[in-house]
Structure 1
Amino acid sequence: MNAIEWLHNHAPGFANLSAEEREAIMQFSLLWSLFESGALKTNGNAKAIADLSAHWANQGGLAKDSFAQALAYFQNRYVGNGGFTYHFGHLHFRNGDKKELVERVLRGESDAPSDIAAAVLIIVFRYRNNYLHGMKWAYELKGQLGNFTTANAALMEALELYGAHGAAP
């Protein structure tokens, strides 16, 4: 029996996921691992992400639209009716996760490319923590296709920037 068959038989909700959902989740695991091992020098945290984003901006690698699609998705998901949505609380920010930066960017109060990149990648980092530490399994991974598809696109953009401009010193 392979791992997918085992998960299908034993993991809550896994059997209800579409092939597209399963693929997006598996791709996320691979992309995050590559991003964290290289661009973050195996030290995945919000400060490292903010430092990396500032480095790319200083190298001239970031434009306002570098992460525009991800930002639009996250603003739609996490901001509404003049405040933050129910989903925003489920990112489970911890101390040191630069929640205030993410909030400023999502509210449109900062359009600095380094802030946008950092905010997007910090949200992706929260997905990573929530997924790998089991919180997403509590929801049986339901309704996560858009999140993982958006996160994967952001990670591919980040990996391209890493390839062109390297990691933060």
Structure 2
Amino acid sequence: MNVSQWLLTRAHGYGDLEASEVRAIEEFSVVWTYFENVVCGKDANVASIRAAVEKLRESKNGIDVKAFQTALKHFSERYFPNGHQDGRFDGLKWRKGGEVAAKEKASEVLTGKATSPSDQLEALLFITYRLRNNLFHGEKWAYGLKDQMANFSSATHTLINMVDQFEAAGLR
């Protein structure tokens, strides 16, 4: 069975995606599962992400925040253009409960109010977590997955850099 052909006949907007957009989504999906296994003990959520960042911060290597600056710049410009929140940030569909604090942390980081390496990394991983949930639970299909390539590329690089730093610190 050809999965792309199957999706073309069913999934609104799939046929409008460029090959590079499809590849970015596929790569994100695979890297996410590896990240969740290695960094979050097979159970990614706000608490396990926060704990993983804290472990890395306290490790002998600490957090190399330079590795995350491209993603931070992308998400800041996307969700807070000119320093002001637009509707896209709420479009991440933050949930009540523990995600309220995660949303606040992300907002503070993306507007430059919180600048510590651990704050920045937590914010990026919280955004990545919301992108993952919105993709895997169907929210992203509402607009045919358009305009998501930079999001998924930035999120994938965030995950890869986190795993690399986590493993280099001997935390796996």
- Given residue 141 of structure 1, which amino acid in structure 2 is its aligned partner? L
- Listed as ranges, the gaps of 5+ residues in structure 1 are none
Structure 1 match to 2:57: 57
Which of 135, 148, 152 does residue 148 from structure 1 map onto? 152
Identity %: 36
- Which moves more between the two structures, 110-119 or 60-69? 60-69
2:111 corresponds to which residue? 107
Q: Report if aligned partners of 1:66, 1:117 keep a CA contact under 8 Å in 2.
A: no
Q: Distance in 2 between matches of 1:50 and 1:40?
A: 10
Residues 151-166 of structure 1 correspond to what in structure 2 (within 5 A)?
151-166=155-170
CA distance in 1, matches of 2:4, 2:20: 13
Q: Distance in 2 between matches of 1:107 and 1:154?
A: 19
Contact 1:50–1:115 under 8 Å retained in 2: no
Which residue in the other structure is 1:69 paired with? 70
Once the two structures are TM-superposed, the CA of residue 89 in structure 1 deviates from its matched residue by: 0.8
Preserved contact between residue 31 and residue 152 of structure 1 (Cα < 8 Å): yes
Is 1:132 paired with 2:144? no
Match of 2:79 in 1: 78
TM-score, normalising length: structure 1:
0.93
Give the Cα–Cα distance (whole angstroms) in 1 for the partners of residues 151 and 167 of structure 2. Answer: 24
Q: How well do the aligned residues superpose, as a CA RMSD in angstroms?
A: 1.4
Q: Displacement of 1:162 after TM fit?
A: 2.2
SS of 1:141's equivalent in the other structure is coil
Shift of 1:61: 2.9
Q: TM-score with structure 2 length normalisation?
A: 0.92
Q: Higher helix proportion, which one? A: 2
Q: Deviations over 1:24-69 (max 9, x none)?
A: 0000110001101121001111121111111111113313323111
Report the Cα distance in structure 1 between the residues aligned to 2:98 and 2:16, rounded to whole angstroms: 35
